[in-house]
Amino acid sequence: MARLRVEETNLADVLRDAVAADEPEAVAVLFATLGGYWSISGDHFRSMSLAPAVTGALHGWSPPPELADTARAALCVALFSARFTGSGDAEQAGRAGWPRSAPARAAARSPRWCG
């Protein structure tokens, strides 16, 4: 937590850049990490404000097997954020165009899906 706290602003900037540059791998890794950090630290607004952009960036992406858990974590944070706000983004976060590929569907059936 202390290491993330020191770099939080820089990592959030990189996350926004990754969303803008359509880099789903970076988006998944950064949002899974920062979203978890923000949840633990009680700063849910940060996740809630970025969840729609993150789900948009991950829409249609088929994560490689080595990023399946990370993609699940990022989408779980986004789904929780959308549900928490009661926004209409919950359906988008739940789908996010993922899991459409065979590896992603298999990962989604994993017992570790969202927890």
- Map out the domains of the chain as residue ranges: 2-108
pLDDT at 102: 44
Distance between CA atoms of residues 72 and 88, nearest Å: 20
Q: Minimum mean pLDDT among 8-17, 65-74, 85-94, 100-109: which range?
A: 100-109
Residue 77's φ and ψ, nearest 5 degrees, are -65, -45
pTM of the model: 0.75
Tell me if residue 14 falls in helix, strand or coil.
helix
Is the pLDDT reported for residue 25 higher than 70? Answer: yes
Confidence of residue 95 (pLDDT cuts 50, 70, 90): low
Name which residue leads in pLDDT, 78 or 16: 16
Which pair of tokens denotes residue 33?
């990490």
99 preceded by a cis bond (ω within 30 of 0) = yes
Q: What is the CA radius of gyration of the chain?
A: 13
DSSP conformational letter for 62: -
Confidence of residue 113 (pLDDT cuts 50, 70, 90): very low
**pLDDT > 70: percent of the chain:** 71
Distance between CA atoms of residues 4 and 106, nearest Å: 31
